[in-house]
Chain A
Amino acid sequence: MSSTDLTPADFAKLPRQHDADQLTRPSLSYWADAWRRLRGNPRAMASLGLILFLLAFVTVGPAVWTVDPSAQDVDQIGIGPGADRHVTLTAPLTPWEPQTMAPPKASTDNPLGFTLAEPATTQAVRLTWVDHDSPHRLYRNLFAPADTGSYGLPLADLDTPYFEDRLDLQPETYYYTLVALDAAGEETDTGVTLTIDVTRVISFAEARERGLIGPDEKAEIGQTLELAWHPLGTDYLGRDMLARLMYGGQVSLFIGLLAPLAFVLLGVVYGSVAGFLGGAVDQAMMRFADFVVALPFLLFMILFKVVFGIGPGESGILPMLAAMIILLWPAPARLVRGQILQIREEGYVSASKLLGATTPYVVGRHMLPNTLGVILVTITFQVPSAIFTEAFLSFIGMGVAPPTPSWGAMCNEGIKSMLTRPHELLFPAIMISATVLAFNLLGDGLRDALDARMRGAE
């Protein structure tokens, strides 16, 4: 009942409230608003973080990890990350006199009497077997022949009942297979496979040379030393992967960032001139752009590389950059021209002109800032394709010249030993993929944040 008990005081005029008119938030500029929207997009922010990390990796990284990317560690060739880096100090290799040794005995399991004469080390693997009249053929494989159906690398055809293998031995497990040959030199069914673990050794002189033992330091044979640390392993020439990834990233990101920046800017100038002048000039300029667009891009990239040629000692980065700029400007030029044509008809441009603004002022003050969002998004989306192009060219051997590392060139080297040393392919591939992924996601985010018309479109 109380709600109906109204007093005259309830009908008194309230003081006028101004709260609703008050701006509670500061007025946001276009860029501040775009940044606010971008910050609200976790995917875009994560990719921005990843990009900053990658940039730090290639710029600050070499200052922190100061290993020379072209220095070879011949004791640790093609080792994976986290590989055992202990090495046993041993006496220098002495010549082998297998004739003086007691000959091995054949058994039912081992009809050829195929045995390891001495402990296998990275210096040498010494094998003996029972002497027959017929010759034998010796194979070496990194995989069990039973699994792969192949004996692997044929080392030699031998008349002697012994063999010393010193060919590129790594501290791994090898499968040696000895096959008896018949009189015609054809393989018989008699074959024996030995599984041999090779241990890594180093002689005293070598250890001193590599700086593992100080000049005045004493060391004993059989002592265990520790080799240099390679957190991500080494490549097929024993070069540190982490250092190469850092320096390779400099090349890849340099091309990936600078090329889009350069050809988009060229396109912006070309497109805005065409769009602003209009008429016959515009038509002629755009026809020319159409021709360049029609050129098959990668074919001409390759052609450019051939035309420019790479002299000795050059890395081939600049020809690649030049070719990309010459071939890729028309797409942004078309985009900007379309934008300019649209903006030219806007009211604020007419108003500015009416107030006496000069053409450069109108273009610089009103037209370009209004296309900046589109331009920024275009650049972001061009970065992945530039990085892909660099990787593709380096992969087919048309990109940067060795020994300059780039992620694409490293993939090209790594793919050859993919089965035995996957890390050589995997790490650069991950770097390329992460970079491309980050720029793609950032591009999506930027497009959503900057360009209301394209928002939500994929």
Chain B
Amino acid sequence: MMEYAAKRVMLGLLTVWFIASATFFGMHAVPGDPLSGEKALTPQIRANLEAKYGLDKPLATQYWIYLGNIAQGDFGISYTQENRRVNDIIREHFPVSATLGILAIVFAGVGGVLWGALTALYRNRWPDVVIMFLVILGISVPSFVMAAISQWSLVNLNQIAGGTVLPIGGWGSVWHMVAPALVLGLSTMAYLTRLMRSSMLEVVNTDYVRTAKAKGIPATQIFSRHQLRNAILPVITVLGPAIAGITTGGFVVEIVFAIPGLGRYFVQAIQQLDYTVIMGTTVFYGAFLVFMVILVDLIYSFIDPRVRVDQ
């Protein structure tokens, strides 16, 4: 187990290095440079600025400094926001995105498992048909449309209620989180429902379930002890990639709902071509995602020892 974990973490670190290098060389291949803004700089000022940001050194040296800084967790200073450190931006805005993401994952996970189990138990009867229709719909509608529709419904709901039932956008209280978290988790929930359904269908008629039935165990107990526990296993494996999906899906939801999360900041940085912020957030997000996937895999191999043998 420890050996497997160590191997995975080593590979993860290598991947992060790969991401960091790809980002670095990618950004350096961008035509123009961060200092060629609207204002023409005198050669002296330009030289000073290049020295300040270390742009006068050879590329290999810059790369080494960059890797060294990342290893120490330093992502540099923003180009467009004077003297604002990228670390501060991440520290300030990432918790917002993370809160939203966790809520969405919880919603997607709980909803997906319950709906999926329900559809499998009622296979080909009306609850199955209705839920699977909604699931297909949930998979087919883009997240920004969902966000727009939910905002539009909230506007109407608030108008009918004559007050603010749920805020339409912004951030602050728990109530602000409800609608964006639901929208963000929806497509993942739909996906998990499909997965849970097929996984549950495999389990429903297994020998041990039949044995349990024959022994006269009540249906609720069979459901919770025998079926759900076994069917839930494959769902856990996709939680890692699902976290990645929810993080990037968060960009759209953060923009539409005006939430001050890191995703919105990232999109803004791209539109302003703020090189250090783009590189910093890419590497940060990349590392975060890589280690989330590893964490989920490790948890999974802990729950289901058969996985370790396959690796």
Contact = CB atoms under 8 A, between A and B. Distances in A.
A425 B136 contact: no
Given A299-B286, A303-B282, A429 B27 contact: no
Contacts of A307: 26-27, 29-30
B267 A458 contact: no
Interface stretch (A123-131, A156-164, A185-193, A395-403): A395-403
Contact of A384 (B140, B195, B273, B282): B140
A436 B197 contact: no
Interface stretch (A199-207, A208-216, A289-297, A338-346): A289-297
Nearest to A301: B248
A388 interface: yes
A309 B285 contact: no
A34 interface: no
Contacts of A437: 136-137, 140
Contact of A425 (B15, B19, B148, B271): B148
Interface stretch (B52-60, B66-74, B151-159, B301-309): B151-159
B22 interface: yes
Which applies to chain B's interface (DSSP): helix, strand, loop or mixed? helix
Interface string A432-454: 11101100110000000000000
Contacts of A441: 136
Interface stretch (B42-50, B89-97, B214-222, B250-258): B250-258
A391 B197 CA distance: 29
B145 A458 contact: no
A457 B198 contact: yes
A384 B139 CA distance: 9
Given A419-B155, A429-B145, A437-B136, A294 B270 contact: no
A298 interface: yes
Contact of A299 (B15, B148, B285): B285
Given A296-B286, A397-B271, A419-B155, A392 B29 contact: no
Given A303-B282, A418-B151, A433 B141 contact: yes
A396 B248 contact: no
Nearest to B194: A458
A446 to B, nearest CB: 16
A432 B289 contact: no
A54 to B, nearest CB: 13
Interface in A252-309: 290-291, 294-300, 302-304, 306-307, 309
Contacts of A304: 26
Interface string B134-169: 001101111111001001100100010000000000
B244 interface: yes
Contacts of B22: 295, 300
A295 B286 contact: yes
A287 to B, nearest CB: 9
Contacts, number: 122
B105 interface: no
B15 A396 contact: no
A418 B201 CA distance: 42
Given A309-B30, A440-B140, A458-B197, A294 B271 contact: no
Nearest to A408: B142
Nearest to B196: A458
A290 B14 CA distance: 11
Contact of A433 (B15, B142, B151, B152): B142
A437 B198 CA distance: 20
A303 B278 contact: yes
B23 interface: yes
The dominant DSSP class at the A interface is helix
Contacts of B194: 458
Contact of B23 (A303, A412, A457): A303
A44 B267 CA distance: 38
B145 A432 contact: yes
Given A296-B248, A398-B270, A425 B145 contact: yes
Contacts of A299: 248, 266, 282, 285-286
A42 B197 CA distance: 22
Contacts of B248: 296-299
Interface in B9-28: 11, 14-15, 18-19, 22-23, 26-27
B235 interface: no
Most chain B Cβ neighbours within 10 Å, of A147, A303, A398, A412? A303
B172 interface: no
A309 B31 contact: yes
Interface in B182-219: 194-195, 197-198, 201
A335 interface: no
A290 B151 CA distance: 39
A304 B194 CA distance: 33
Given A295-B18, A297-B248, 11 more contacts: A291-B15, A298-B248, A303-B23, A306-B270, A307-B27, A391-B144, A392-B143, A418-B152, A432-B145, A437-B136, A458-B197
Interface of B: 11, 14-15, 18-19, 22-23, 26-27, 29-31, 136-137, 139-145, 148, 151-152, 155, 159, 194-195, 197-198, 201, 244, 247-248, 251-252, 255-256, 266-267, 270-271, 273, 278, 282, 285-286, 289-290, 293
28 contacts: A290-B11, A295-B22, A296-B247, A296-B282, A296-B285, A299-B285, A303-B26, A306-B270, A306-B278, A391-B142, A392-B142, A392-B252, A395-B142, A396-B252, A396-B267, A398-B267, A398-B270, A412-B144, A415-B144, A415-B148, A418-B151, A418-B152, A419-B155, A433-B142, A437-B136, A440-B140, A441-B136, A458-B194
The 5 closest A-B pairs by CB, nearest first: A458-B198, A437-B140, A298-B248, A429-B145, A294-B15
Interface of A: 147-148, 290-291, 294-300, 302-304, 306-307, 309, 384, 388, 391-392, 395-398, 408, 411-412, 415, 418-419, 422, 425, 429, 432-434, 436-437, 440-441, 456-458
